[in-house]
């Protein structure tokens, strides 16, 4: 059996990031961790493009436009949907996640969904450094995987 070896070298890749500005402190913390990890993995700073959108529901359209451009090897969605007192949380969380997955499958391009869905602000902030870094790692690993199959 031939196993596809995990590769974390991001040196030659271009990455697009779409960040939701709703819950901006969470988005900025995710971005900081993601950006730091991308640089650590060898992605050049001038090959990282950030697009900011108002909220999680706007992320899929921006991701789709970036995917259509064919300028990127992978895309990353950052943001947070934090539960409130209404059903709106479920609508935003479910539809943004489904739409991001649809774009990924339509374009056969790695799109990492790092839009956190949490019960409260504290849970979101506790997860930002790990989830931001993981998003970068997953993006690079999936680029290599898709190039290897």
Pick the catalytic residue from 35, 36, 88, 144: 88
H helix intervals, 16-120:
24-40, 59-69, 88-107
- Known catalytic residue: 144? no
DSSP of 90-138, one letter per residue?
HHHHHHHHHHHHHHHHHHT--EEEEEEEESSHHHHHHHHHHHHHHHHHH
**Is 83 among the annotated ligand-binding positions?**
no
**Is 117 among the annotated ligand-binding positions?**
no
**Is 80 among the annotated ligand-binding positions?**
yes
**Is 130 among the annotated ligand-binding positions?**
no
**Is 127 among the annotated ligand-binding positions?**
yes
**Is 22 among the annotated ligand-binding positions?**
yes
15-20, strands of its sheet edge to edge? 48-53, 15-20, 74-82, 111-118
Q: Give CA–CA dist 126/138, Å, rounded.
A: 20
**Is 82 among the annotated ligand-binding positions?**
yes
Binding site, annotated residues: 22, 56-58, 80-82, 85-86, 113, 127
Residue numbers belonging to the annotated binding site for 5-amino-6-(D-ribitylamino)uracil: 22, 56-58, 80-82, 113
Binding-site positions for (2S)-2-hydroxy-3-oxobutyl phosphate read 85-86, 127
Catalytic sites, residue numbers: 88
């Amino acid at each position: 059996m031939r196993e596809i070896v995990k590769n974390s070298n991001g040196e030659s890749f271009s990455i697009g990031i779409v960040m939701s500005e709703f819950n901006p402190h969470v988005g900025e913390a995710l971005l900081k961790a993601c950006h730091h990890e991308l640089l650590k993995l060898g992605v050049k700073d001038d090959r990282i493009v950030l697009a900011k959108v108002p909220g999680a529901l706007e992320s899929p359209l921006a991701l789709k436009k970036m995917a259509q451009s064919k300028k990127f090897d992978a895309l990353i969605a950052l943001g947070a949907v934090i539960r409130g007192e209404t059903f709106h949380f479920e609508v935003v969380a479910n539809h943004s996640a489904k739409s991001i997955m649809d774009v990924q499958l339509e374009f056969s391009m790695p799109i990492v969904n790092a839009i956190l869905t949490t019960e409260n602000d504290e849970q979101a902030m506790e997860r930002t450094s790990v989830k931001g870094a993981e998003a970068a790692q997953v993006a690079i690993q999936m680029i290599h995987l898709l190039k290897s199959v």
